[in-house]
A and B are shown apart, each in its own frame.
Chain A
Amino acid sequence: MKSLRHYLSVALLSARLSVQSCFEYPAAFIGWLISNPIQFLVAFATIRFVVMEFNDLAGWDYKQLAFLYGVSILSHGLSVIFFSKTWWMGYQIIHGELDRLRLRPMNTLFQFLLGELNIFGITDLIPGIILFIYGCCAVDFRWTLYNTFCMICTVIGATFLRGGIYLILGSLTFWSKSPMHISGFMQEIFNRTNMYPLTMYPRVVQIIFTFVLPVSWVCFYPATEFLGKDSMITLPYGMPFITLAIGILLFAISCRVFRAGFTQYESAGS
């Protein structure tokens, strides 16, 4: 309990310092704030165009697609704030910049993830929130107690799911000794795949994104339940909880991978 309070107080102070660091570069922040939402707007315009041409995509109309995308981008924004440092951790490993984490009497992964938040991720989160609200309004999402709970499980699960995969990919540098930077690519896979209903893809692709690389759990499967759509897997209810479970499981695995990787850590000369 005491140690939990200790960790919490360090996390809060670190978060405050991250915000303060961000304020040191206001011009950069504004630049991101203007440029970052554009990519989501363009993606949205694409959806709109596609639906106008084909009326629907695998049975999903424009409003439902807006909802799907909104849920996806909300968890994207959160994962950028908490996990985007894993995208360039390869460089830190090669340049020996993780030494500091070992020198302090706290959990290494805790310090790595929460010691410095990427406050610039707010420029992803803001469009995420706007798209999410827009999508919920479009499908007239009913905020009952149960639905709200399911939505929270989905968003938290999706954030951990994304973060867990980023952390696993980032940790591979511990072994490869050369930064791979595949997480940026992974982020594209997450966001592109979840723009469209999984059911429009060939069955092989559906199986891959469901069981091998579980990207469709980020929002597609929970959305099928919220909207009453069909998919490869039909469950009466519980999709959001599966998303949460997969998210937590992947995150737990990624913690193990990170820890195992650190035994291979070699720092850097002098």
Chain B
Amino acid sequence: MPVIEVNHLVKQFKTVKKEKGLKGAVKGLFKAEKKIVTAVNDISFSIEKGEIVGYIGPNGAGKSTTVKMMSGILSPTSGEILINGISPEKDRKSVVKQLGVVFGQRTQLYWDLRLGESFELLRRIYNVDDDTFNRNMKMMDDILNISSIIDTPVRQLSLGQRMRGDLAAAMLHSPDVLFLDEPTIGLDVDAKHAIRRFIKEINAERQTTVILTTHDLGDIQELCKRIIIINNGVIVEDGSLDDIAERIAPYRQLIVEFYSEHEIPHPKAEIIKSEGAQTVYRFRKDEITAAELMSDIGKQAKIKDIRLEEANIDDIIRIAYNSNS
């Protein structure tokens, strides 16, 4: 049974259309024009236990809205969500017991108090027994070095420290599923690394299912075996990064450096740049292998050096984002 099942999920918001300037504002007071915005438009997917899924899309695509519906904050307009077979809309309390949720832009911790007090409160709220609590704290300490910041008031923590605190707080009750909404936003390289290591370790040790929204493609490359790309409220891609790359950008580039200036065409490769002794070929993986191409070219001119480049992840994601706008 999948841990998360989402079927034909739709979320619409009513907004009032605003007109320009003071005149428009006054007019809006008397004759408000209602407009329905569809943030999430009929999406379906299912996620198995122990998966790490990157849920990505441009700003305003509907990522956060989906996460908020899955975690019971918002009610869907229509469609169904099941977490371990339970609907967050119908039985919120049972569902959230199994969830850990972290919003990168907003802390769940007590702003004025030392970090430890927030943990103490969460321990009460989730009724965590001593053994589990101590075991989880120890694990969080090993991965996130929590003990160095546990006595600091949350308002004095750096963004990276605060994020570590938020992640630890989300794991205190040993949830099955972790929703992370932009957990690495605004963090430096070290802090990002710590967070990624944390995600990998809890996933490996506890089989925690992780759904991660992010704009950091490094997060995706390093963590996610599967990505779901949403754009304008619709899922445009769902699969592994390699498969998606294969489908939407199945190109590789072979950069060949000759001893002197040459321009050698090839029927299965396109020359996209030729500069001095260097020529850049673009070819499809399924039409010709790099070795064949190299040997064909090598028969006509002596090769000094070669370099092979895969399609760039930025380009792949950008193509996916633009495919449905």
Contact = CB atoms under 8 A, between A and B. Distances in A.
Interface in A17-58: 17, 20-21, 24-25
Contacts of A270: 59, 64, 105, 181-182
Interface residues of A, number: 25
A105 B73 contact: no
Contacts of A106: 93, 125
A21 B75 contact: no
Contacts, number: 70
Contacts of A20: 112-113, 117
A103 B103 CA distance: 11
B96 A105 contact: yes
Nearest to A106: B125
B264 interface: no
Given A99-B103, A102-B92, A21 B121 contact: no
B96 A102 contact: yes
If over half of B's interface residues share one DSSP class (helix, strand or loop), that class is named, otherwise mixed; here it is mixed
Interface string B222-238: 00000000000000000
Given A21-B113, A105-B93, A269 B121 contact: no
A13 B113 CA distance: 13
B49 interface: no
A267 B127 CA distance: 27
B258 to A, nearest CB: 51
Interface in B51-105: 59-60, 64, 68, 71-75, 92-94, 96-97, 99, 101, 103, 105
A6 B127 contact: yes
A105 B88 CA distance: 11
B251 interface: no
B94 A105 contact: yes
B13 interface: yes
Given A267-B68, A270-B182, A103 B124 contact: no
Interface in B166-189: 181-182
B112 A24 contact: yes
A13 B121 contact: yes
- Tell me which of B68, B108, B126 has the highest count of chain A C-beta atoms within 10 A of its own C-beta: B68
Interface of B: 13, 59-60, 64, 68, 71-75, 92-94, 96-97, 99, 101, 103, 105-106, 108, 110, 112-113, 117, 120-121, 124-127, 153, 181-182
The 9 closest A-B pairs by CB, nearest first: A21-B112, A105-B93, A102-B73, A24-B112, A105-B97, A270-B64, A99-B73, A105-B96, A10-B124
